Structure 1
């Protein structure tokens, strides 16, 4: 992975380059309404210091096949940090916003900022699949994705049409930076603010205000890779009252102001 092709939300992509590889695979077509893609990360830092990769998470739930056990990661509303050391690999399932609700069977908000053993959701069979996946060579991403396909297809729940509606709401919130208030998003989709908040709690796991704010921080972090960025203009572009407001939001999550992040 190079700095230029790092996914949105991966902080310090230039520093991450060369420390791990990232590959993505699409799910079986029958899973596409629920699963966005599979991601495969592998690293070999033997003889090197551990590396902490920081990520501004997205409004997605993940099932991760990893050591020592498979886990379900709810939406992390803070800053996600993963330590990489020695040698290893993981395969993740990135569910679409709203897509995990059918597997979980309960409000996804219950998973916010939590990591659960995957057996609590999928039963002991998930560990057998995890061992199969992790026993494969790091080059076998396609085979790994096939095993994940088979596991999820065998448990494919009935499609909830409301999940697709919520996914469209999240797509609007993350894709249109002119939307800065929850009221605007609710109006765009013809629902009340209360309905929007209820749907996000039930299906997404984070509120619409958080999703709107996180999308702006993703854009700010990506633009910060350009040392010549005009922060005042960017704050205006992203709907902030001023640069100081952008700086407060960014600092609260990332831990340092965007101007310092850009320079360091």
Structure 2
């Protein structure tokens, strides 16, 4: 999927790259991405299957401004359920390996844990600890099909089907879950949305109700949700060769370029200029 410069971009154009703060010079890994089966769209967003081969003595650190969703990730050495990461997510790749990951929908974290998802913020647990899925069985099955040839498209397709079969036990999604899916989708696809009261007005709910709903289903509040979308949008636009920091700051609702620079550096560990220079 391609992107184009300028304001007004939405998640539909390239919502993957805007979150993954990829180093374009790092060639030690690749990622295959795929959508989920149509009947699971209320439960999950997409799969990603990274495969890496990092030379001895080196490592590859993946940095992601994660979306407001929980994750299931199975590799050859672990199987985990991740809550939402409020800051910058770091994954260090070493040696050779693979993983099968599925990005859930905002509604799904609570369906998996049967508890308010705020308890999982900035945490992960072994997949065997979640009460609604056969974590050990999922991990065993995925390792069986992926272990010999993790780059094989047929093996990856089988792995996705195994995960999808497990996720169907979470259906149907409840009305509250469908509402939180719609709220998050609206935030992610509306660059002009900058204030919590605007979001409340769109869905005709009070700020207190919105706070409770988001803390229960994604673990974080509406201000974080809007700020995270702005930072992802900024990371996306900074990849353009003609990106202007002052213009990006204004378009994203920052008081000035200094506020934008401080917010981006706190979230990513890089200034906007340092991040942009990786793509020049």
Alpha carbons of structure 1 residues 123 and 95: separation in structure 2 relative to 1, 3 Å: closer
Partner residue of 2:7? Answer: none
TM normalised by structure 1 equals: 0.91
Partner residue of 2:92? Answer: 83
Secondary structure at 2:108's aligned position in 1? Answer: coil
Deviations 1:86-145 (A, max 9, x none): 111100121111222122111111111001111110478312321221232211210100
Partner residue of 2:8? Answer: none
Partner residue of 2:24? Answer: 14
- Point out where structure 1 has 5 or more consecutive residues left out of the alignment: none
Partner residue of 1:237? Answer: 251
Give 1:224 shift: 1.4
Partner residue of 2:181? Answer: 167
Secondary structure at 1:14's aligned position in 2? Answer: coil
Deviates most, 218-227 or 49-58: 218-227
**Which residues of 2 match residues 58-207 of structure 1 at below 5 A?**
58-122=67-131, 125-135=134-144, 136=146, 137-138=149-150, 139=152, 140-153=155-168, 155-207=169-221
Deviations 1:38-79 (A, max 9, x none): 211111124461111111111010011124321011100111
RMSD: 2.3
Alpha carbons of structure 1 residues 228 and 7: separation in structure 2 relative to 1, 3 Å: closer
2:234 matched to 1:225?
no
TM normalised by structure 2 equals: 0.86
2:39 matched to 1:30?
yes
Secondary structure at 2:170's aligned position in 1? Answer: coil
Secondary structure at 1:15's aligned position in 2? Answer: coil
How many residues are matched? 262
CA distance in 2, matches of 1:262, 1:25: 28
Deviations 1:27-46 (A, max 9, x none): 33332211112211111124
Partner residue of 1:256? Answer: 270
- Point out where structure 2 has 5 or more consecutive residues left out of the alignment: 5-13
Secondary structure at 2:122's aligned position in 1? Answer: coil
